[in-house]
């Protein structure tokens, strides 16, 4: 079980890295204007627009959180009829 969880963890890290690469490429492509590079194509940190990129990352994270809230609100727990809850026995009662 431990090796399966470790493999799933590393698969998740790899997928997150791939999605981050796609996000960086999409932002650069969308913000490129003529001969000027995109927000993340600057030759130094002063010439790139990391502040705007982090706003994009914050918006994507907020949308993911709103997606989570939507599905969490929509979820309804269904009681399994095969599982019977036994009443708790109180130790102090005679």
- Model confidence pLDDT, tens digit, residues 62-88: 999 999 999 999 999 888 788 777 776
- Residue 14 near residue 8, CB atoms below 8 Å: no
What was the pLDDT predicted at 20? 94
The residue ranges of every structural domain in the chain are 2-74
Tell if the pTM clears 0.75, that is, is over it.
Answer: no
Nearest-angstrom CA–CA distance, 42 and 49: 8
Q: Which residues of the chain register pLDDT less than 70?
A: 88-94
- Residue 39 near residue 27, CB atoms below 8 Å: yes
Nearest-angstrom CA–CA distance, 20 and 57: 10
Give the DSSP H/E element, type plus range, for residue 64: helix 50-74
């Amino acid at each position: 079980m431990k090796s399966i969880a470790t493999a799933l963890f590393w698969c998740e890290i790899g997928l997150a890295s791939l999605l981050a690469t796609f996000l960086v490429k999409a932002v650069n492509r969308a913000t490129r204007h003529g001969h000027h590079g995109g927000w993340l194509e600057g030759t130094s940190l002063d010439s790139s627009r990391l502040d705007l990129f982090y706003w994009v990352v914050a918006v994507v994270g907020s949308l993911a959180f709103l997606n989570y809230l939507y599905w969490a609100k929509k979820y309804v727990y269904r009681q399994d009829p095969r599982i019977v809850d036994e009443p708790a026995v109180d130790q102090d009662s005679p």
